[in-house]
Each structure stands twice: as structure tokens, then as C-alpha cells.
Amino acid sequence: TTERSLVLVKPDGFARGLTGEVLRRIEAKGYRLVALQVLTPDLDRLHVHYEEHVGKPFFEPLCEFMSSGPVTAVVIEGERCIEGFRALAGATDPTAALPGTIRGDLGRDWGRKVQENIVHGSDSPESAAREIGIWFPEL
Ligand code: CMP
């Protein structure tokens, strides 16, 4: 089935000029770009986006990091693109992420409280629908 997923190029990826590289990999894989916006998200939006992590030690540092500068929010579309983008992104920890993946090729640990790992991707169809509603209510 054709799916949609919500991808974020996080502030570290934006600041390092990796937005185009991430989009290139998404397009090279054959997924379509449905919507795209550059914005600096406020904490209210991030608290909703990351609600499943409320109470975890990295929750507030994560939201602070994500609101620290511009991000690029993207809706992608394609057969099984939710699982497919997560495979492109690689493991959450950029040190452990395999070479060939976005995080494995381009990310590393910078010794900060939050894993700065360049991209976010929805982890299930339910999350994708919820997250697309947060970032692109018009869709
Ligand atoms: P993301 O896919 O956006 O979902 C939650 C984010 O929290 C994750 O990427 C990382 O940026 C961050 N994260 C997840 N686990 C940890 C952890 N153990 N310590 C610090 N940050 C984390």
C-alpha cells in the first residue's frame, strides 16, 4: 500500500547544510515529495509531536534542541515508505548507525544530552497520520 510519512531534517542537519543531501537520498530511493516547509518549531508543537517521550530524561533537552533553529518538515509518499525511510535513516544512535544510512554516513555523537541525529521519520502508520496532522494540518 502507498503510505505517507513525516520526515524532519532536524536543526543539526539544517545547520550543517545537509537538507539537500537528505532530500536527494529520499528522491533517489524513489519516494515522492508531497509537501515541504522550512520553519523554526515552537515548544508547544514539539511537546505534541514528542508526546510519547514525555517524562523521559531527554524529553526537554530534545524539545529545546528541536526549537533551536530551522528544520525542514517533509511529507513523503511511496510504497512502504514509513519502514523504508527508517531504513534509509539508520539507527537512532548515529555512532551505531550503519554506514550507507543517513545517520551512519553523516552523523556522529557530539557529546550532548540529546542524540543529534539529523533526521526524524514516523515509526508507524498511526504515528505518520498523527504527525502529518501536526506539521501539515492542511493535508
Ligand atoms: P527521533 O526519531 O526524533 O525521536 C526521538 C528523539 O529523541 C530521537 O530521534 C533522538 O534525537 C532523541 N533520543 C532518543 N533516545 C535518546 C537517548 N537515549 N538520549 C538522548 N536522546 C535520545
C-alpha span between 84 and 26 (Å, rounded): 9
**How crowded is residue 108: how many other Cβ atoms within 10 Å of its Cβ?**
13
Classify domain 2-135 at the CATH superfamily level: Nucleoside diphosphate kinase-like domain (3.30.70.141)
Alpha carbon of 128 to ligand 1 centroid (Å): 17
Render pLDDT for 4-19 as a digit per residue (tens, 0 to 9): 999 999 999 999 999 9
**Which DSSP category does 99 fall into?**
B
Residue with cell 508526546: 51
Give long-range contacts, CB 8 A cutoff, 24+ apart: 121-126. Answer: 121/5, 121/6, 121/7, 121/8, 121/82, 121/85, 121/86, 121/89, 122/5, 122/6, 122/7, 122/82, 122/85, 123/82, 123/86, 124/82, 125/3, 125/82
Calculate mean pLDDT across residues 11-34: 98
* Of 9, 54, 58, best ligand 1 pocket probe by most atoms within 8 Å of the beta carbon: 58
C-alpha span between 97 and 79 (Å, rounded): 24
Q: Supply the pTM of this predicted model.
A: 0.97
Render pLDDT for 76-132 as a digit per residue (tens, 0 to 9): 999 999 999 999 999 999 999 999 999 999 999 999 999 999 999 999 999 999 999
* Of 6, 117, 123, 124, best ligand 1 pocket probe by most atoms within 8 Å of the beta carbon: 117
Phi and psi for 106 in degrees, rounded to 5? -120, -15
Alpha carbon of 79 to ligand 1 centroid (Å): 26
Task: Report whether residue 117 contacts ligand 1, using a CB cutoff of 6 Å.
Answer: yes
Active site residues: 120
Domain residues of the chain, as ranges?
2-135
The ipTM estimated for the assembled molecules is: 0.95
Nearest CA to ligand 1 atom 4: 120
Alpha carbon of 2 to ligand 1 centroid (Å): 27
**How crowded is residue 2: how many other Cβ atoms within 10 Å of its Cβ?**
9
